[in-house]
A and B are shown apart, each in its own frame.
Chain A
């Protein structure tokens, strides 16, 4: 045989989730040119995400590696991919109501949401630093655009600009970190890096690279002190995009974070855990304390999402099977309750009047009982009141921290939970204890948005009362690394 370029065989099964999602994105973009009806486009996205989610879930038992060991199909990737896709479904549902009157072109919007999710799935499935970088960029660029999608809104433009500029710096850090780690270990692949870590002679270079990765991932998951962009961007972006950022983008950041640090760089735990200990403590504390001072619910939720990143970092610091599983489980729990909370914010927003301040929530519980009850569930769950999902998540995280001997960090964590009650409860005070208009004027029908909120609330309750199955999934996911 004549000499040929040896291309690695591609395992098509492994790329099925990414492939289906990419096709969906292209279909949406193309349809957007011909179909004027936003609702139809929304349904296409919904059906596409649902099919992909089901197909992905069916792949749960499979294990495969492809593209020369840089991309894997494992329970870990499946776990996160399903979270992204379900988050996608819920965000699309919200958007089908929210986009009305914003002038955001639905085809482009749904297409970009889909491509962002493509990037996320790549990040969660990649076993190679360069592929993680590719996924991160696909996701980030889509989300930069989405943040500014509401072009007539000044704050939406500002958010996109800010997010893009700071995000570009984070990307730079990531690449620099990858380069340093490559220099120290001679590979981009996580398994080869893991093997090279104990014997490397360029330890300083390696540690510098690891620190750079902490910066970059810290930016994506909004950890302190890389959180500065979060409140402004979350507040300025269209609320549905904020929900996507707070949930799916953060989850994707953590998906890569956990895989790289607990798998590839697990051997350096003694070194990076000290750094992350400080970052975790600072993230929880700064997020919660600053959230106390907010009068805008949307901005408050932005700080709350910073604080929750801190709890997940506690799980990463704890490390080991317990810590890794706790991180995955917490992300699952966090996703539903946060999506729901942003859904409520979106439901109150009207064109030209976002209705985001606590004063706008006065009397809401009696004015719109469904929003009141669901928001109560989300706020109590975010506080960590049993038997809701947020409690199960925190319990798992703190158990892992205690098991690994991080007592001080666990104490900081629970004290932060107590602080957080202060601002979550303020929403309840506004909704139920503050006199406000008891009757509404005309309320637009919001069937899709309300469906999304109710589904999130039901999941928040179910995961809280029956956490066993979901913990099992998280454990299977982490142990497949």
Chain B
């Protein structure tokens, strides 16, 4: 009706190809005999690279000055319930799709050396995971979204559980139970929401574009928002629901950590932006002080805990809690500056934290330890590694000229309009972030070589350079020239902000109306709230 299926043309299956290529690859991988581990590795790299190239074409065909969904594919799936295979991208999900398809081949290439046992199975799960994540980013049918959302859990569970470290079983089950419990409550909320849509006299549908307009009482909004927010907040993870994260990150194999931090955490923040906030605008506005508070606590708490970690990987894991706090701060600024900053920061965190996990993984492969105290003076034996580490560290602390600065600046700018106090505290988190990252860097890279083993370390191999160069390049590009990214996401972000404001305004108008209504009516409403 709004012509959203005209750009690009209907019948374009590019998005489906991107989503399903990894899974097709995963099943083809199973046909490769177990002995040919190299073949399995190469096949996984090829399929994930195809997905990446296709997603570049997706970006190429994306019309950047439109706010509506593009590449819409809509097919009936379970007609009885109005469940559809409905996928599309807008300026927000486009970049998250790109982030996913960009990071996956990098992780797969890195894992060539990292994964020694059950090689075929590892890459099978990696590719399944990619399809699950991509599907969750592009699904506009809530049922389809939920299917992909849960589909991600199983491969990640196995990746942590089979290829993880010492406490892998504990970490994997903690990860699974946390995320599963929270998402089941979201499922109920989805069912209630669809039911409310039907009660208003509409046909059954899970199409989120139609569900945006469901009229709900403030109390219903509150409950439903709570259920959605819980599912997404666990994934983000927001303080105090973050306790699964350090375990999962530390125990996961490097590839799993990169995907977990780089992409999966973003599904939580993306969920807020795509579903929880625009579906329940009244509750969103009401919960803003609370959410800002949690975001700020997460920023400061994550940074302080990161500061005292003796283990490199754990330090990076806790830094994620802090960085994702920034993203949440930007989202709940509820203006387009803050939200654009948040999306930008989601991409930045994917790149910089992903790179940090890769670098830590590389040094772990060489020394089989991640204790900061075991290192020191690494600049001398492995200068190339140290140079990349320096760039990534600067990106992570938000040095101007690199990507992190742009995102954090926009977030603080946006948040300033919402809450000056939160912005002030968050800024102190920025300083703490610089402290723990630079201190860690100093202890690992500068000074004399204190441990004899470190003198014999090998510098980066060609394959490792191939893994790191694209990430570093993107870190620089996004720092120097953010305009194309921000310009493309701007219309979609503005549309989301407008939707939240419209919903809020409608509720305020209804409230005003209720106050002027006869006393009995008003009293009933007050009782309901």
Residues of A within 8 A of B (CB): 366, 380, 383, 385-387, 391, 395, 398-399, 402-403, 407, 410-411, 414-415, 417-418, 421-422, 425, 428-429, 432-434, 467-468, 471-472, 475
Is the C-beta of B287 less than 8 angstroms from some C-beta in chain A? Answer: no
What are 7 A-B pairs at a CB distance below 8 A? A383-B180, A395-B191, A399-B191, A402-B188, A411-B185, A414-B185, A425-B157
Interchain nearest-CB distance for B256 vs A (Å): 14
The residue from B150, B172, B181 contacting A386, defined by CB atoms under 8 A apart: B150
| A398-B191, A468-B80 known, 5 other contacts, Cβ within 8 Å | A386-B151, A399-B195, A414-B184, A422-B177, A471-B80
Contact A385 B191 (CB under 8 A): no
Alpha-carbon distance between A386 and B158 when the two chains are bound, in angstroms = 16
Alpha-carbon distance between A418 and B174 when the two chains are bound, in angstroms: 12
Decide if B173 is an interface residue (CB 8 Å cutoff).
yes
Contact present for B173 and A429 (CB under 8 Å):
yes
What distance in Å separates the Cβ of B191 from its nearest Cβ neighbour in chain A?
Answer: 5
Contact assessment for A398 and B187 in the assembled complex, using a CB-CB cutoff below 8 Å: yes
A435 CB to nearest B CB, Å = 11
Question: Does chain A have a CB within 8 A of B495?
Answer: no
Report chain A residues within 8 Å CB of B194. Answer: 399
Which of B14-22, B161-169, B407-415, B419-427 participates in binding chain A? B161-169
A351 to chain B, nearest CB (A): 32
Q: How many residues of B contact A (CB 8 A)?
A: 33
In contact, B184 and A425 (Cβ under 8 angstroms): no
B42-82: which have CB < 8 Å to A?
77-81
Interfacial residues, chain B to chain A (CB-CB below 8 A) = 77-81, 118, 143, 146-147, 150-151, 153-154, 157-158, 161-162, 168-169, 172-173, 176-177, 180-181, 184-185, 187-188, 191-192, 194-195
Residues of B within 8 A of A386 (CB): 146-147, 150-151
Q: Which of A387, A399, A418 meets B184, CB within 8 Å?
A: A418
B196, chain A: closest CB distance, angstroms:
10
Give the contacting residue for A402; candidates B80, B151, B192; CB below 8 A.
B192
Closest to A386 in B: B147
B188 touches A398 (CB 8 A): yes
Contact A472 B146, CB 8 Å, known A402-B188, A414-B188, A418-B181: no
Which residue in chain A gives the minimum CB-CB distance to B149? A386
The interface residues of chain A lying within 8 Å CB-to-CB of B191 are 395, 398-399, 402, 410
CA distance A398 to B191 in the complex (A): 8
Cβ contacts under 8 Å, B177 to chain A: 418, 421-422
Chain B residue contacts of A402, Cβ below 8 A: 188, 191-192, 195
Given the contacts A415-B184, A418-B180, A472-B80, A432 and B161 also touching, CB distance less than 8 Å: yes
Chain A residue numbers with a CB within 8 Å of B168 are 433
In the complex, the answer to whether A415 meets B181 with C-beta atoms within 8 Å is yes
The residues of B that contact A395 with a CB separation of less than 8 Å are 143, 187, 191
B78 touching A468, Cβ below 8 Å? yes
A402 to B169, CA, bound (A): 35
Question: A391 to chain B: which residues have CB within 8 Å?
Answer: 147, 150
Q: Are A403 and B195 in contact (CB under 8 A)?
A: yes
Bound form: Cα–Cα A467–B81 in Å: 10
Q: Are B161 and A433 in contact (CB under 8 A)?
A: yes
**Which interface residue of A403, A411, A414 has the most chain B CB atoms within 10 A?**
A414
The docked-state distance in angstroms from the alpha carbon of A393 to that of B158 is: 25
Chain B residue at minimal CB-CB distance from A433: B161
**Chain A residue nearest in CB terms to B77:** A468
Complex CA distance for A389 and B443, rounded to whole angstroms? 53
Q: Which residues of A contact B192 (CB under 8 A)?
A: 402, 407
A149 to B507, CA, bound (A): 68
CA distance A101 to B177 in the complex (A): 41
CB neighbours of B143 from chain A (8 A): 395
Q: Is the beta-carbon distance between A429 and B151 smaller than 8 angstroms?
A: no
Nearest-neighbour CB distance to chain A for B27, whole angstroms, equals: 12
Nearest 8 CB-CB pairings of A with B: A418-B181, A414-B184, A386-B147, A433-B161, A468-B78, A402-B191, A386-B150, A399-B191
Contacts of A398 in B (CB 8 A): 187-188, 191
- Inter-chain CA distance A398–B177, complex, in Å, is 20
The listed residue with most B CB atoms (<10 A of its CB), out of A402, A403, A407, is A402
Q: How far is the CA of A411 from the CA of B195 in the complex (A)?
A: 16
Q: Measured between alpha carbons, how far is A334 from B80 in the docked complex, in Å? A: 21
Query: Is B188 in contact with A385, judged by CB distance below 8 angstroms?
Result: no
Q: Which of B161, B181, B187 contacts A429 (CB 8 A)?
A: B161
The chain A residue sitting closest to B147, CB to CB, is: A386
Contact between B80 and A432, CB atoms less than 8 A apart? no
- Known A380-B154, A433-B161; contact A417-B184, beta-carbon cutoff 8 A: yes
A-chain residues with CB within 8 Å of residue B172 when the two chains form the complex: 433
**Across the two chains, which residue of chain A brings its CB closest to B161?**
A433
In the complex, which residues of chain A have a beta carbon less than 8 angstroms from the beta carbon of B169?
429, 433-434
CA distance A428 to B80 in the complex (A): 34
In the bound complex, CA of A433 to CA of B172 (Å): 10
CA A366 to CA B187, docked complex, whole Å: 34
Provide the bound-state CA to CA distance between A386 and B186, in Å.
14
Q: How many angstroms between the C-alpha atoms of A475 and B80 in the bound complex?
A: 10
User: B161 to chain A: which residues have CB within 8 Å?
Assistant: 429, 432-433
Shortest distance from the beta carbon of A158 to any chain B beta carbon, whole Å: 34
